[in-house]
Amino acid sequence: MNAREKVKKLAARLEQKYGSLKWESQGDPLEILVLTILSQNTNDTNRDRAFASLKKKFPAYESIVRSPTEKVAEAIKEGGLHHQKAKRIQEVLKKIKAEHGAYDLNYLKDLSTEEAFNELIKFDGVGKKTTGVVLTFSLNKPYFPVDTHIDRITHRLGLVKKGQDPHDVMNALVPKELTYQFHLHLIWHGRATCKARKPLCDQCVIADLCPVPTQGLPLRERRK
Ligand code: SF4
């Protein structure tokens, strides 16, 4: 079985366990971009608290840009790395306004996935994961984002090897129509079963497709 076939089999198995999902937009592209910047290095709860606090204190994007960075940082401090994220959000907003005359990313809808990818990745501090989340979850332009759970599982499964870029590898392997569902299913599987510290391999529905139960964890984890 080659890697593409393996991905399809994994996706089918996880669909049996977690159910099939229909794509639905998670929100406006600029809101999703800000939310995803806030999600860097924190959990969903703290991200959502930081986002709610930001919106409450700065209802308009213009007010975020015009305020001192320390005030924006104060509003999002629950998400951690708040000074860095505040600066990043202000810079992204400034750039969007300067280039497009408004705080609006809806023009991306008219671009190809590749063109929209290039528009987003050019912002400082916006990497492939953040770009992929905006493309897939707001714009229905499939690009497979790799978060910490997916990075861990795909290495354990042997799909991504040490030193490879997981985004490049997985985007070559995951069929476009599976991007949205497979991304979410892998995250759920990472939280419930393929846990960071102690994977529950004896309860895992993809254990027969994974080398860990017979060979142990990959080298990069054994050294930790
Ligand atoms: S068998 Fe274990 S290591 Fe492999 S995917 Fe399942 S829980 Fe993770």
Distance 209 CA to ligand 1 centre (A): 9
Residue closest via CA to ligand 1's atom 1 equals 207
Q: CA 180 → CA 14, 18, 82, 144, distances in Å? A: 13, 13, 29, 8
Q: What is the 3-state secondary structure (H, E, C) of 154-190?
A: HHHCCCCCCCCCHHHHHHHHCCHHHHHHHHHHHHHHH
Domain range summary for the chain, segments of one domain joined by + = 3-22+145-222, 29-137
**CA 108 – CA 50 distance, rounded (Å):** 26
Mind listing the pLDDT tens digit for each residue in 44-89? 899 999 999 999 999 999 999 999 999 999 999 988 889 999 999 9
166 CB-contact burial (10 Å; exposed 0-12 / middle 13-18 / buried 19+): buried
CATH class of 29-137: mainly alpha
Candidate of 10, 153, 203 to mutate for ligand 1, largest count of ligand atoms within 8 Å of Cβ: 153
Candidate of 185, 186, 200, 201 to mutate for ligand 1, largest count of ligand atoms within 8 Å of Cβ: 201
Rounded to the nearest 5°, which phi and psi values hold at 214? -100, -35
Low-confidence ranges of the chain (pLDDT < 70): 223-224
pLDDT at 222: 75
pLDDT at 224: 59
CATH number of 3-22+145-222: 1.10.1670.10
Cβ neighbours of 98 (radius 10 Å): 8
20 token code pair: 């099939």
Q: Is 129 a catalytic residue?
A: yes
221 token code pair: 């984890």
Across 189-219, b (16+ Cβ under 10 Å) vs e yields: bbeebbeeeebebeebebbebbebeeeebbe
Contacts of residue 216, defined as CB under 8 A and 6 or more positions apart, other chains included, come to 222
Distance 210 CA to ligand 1 centre (A): 6
Helices vs strands, H then E, count in the chain: 13, 0
Tracing tokens 């951690």 back to the chain, one arrives at: 80
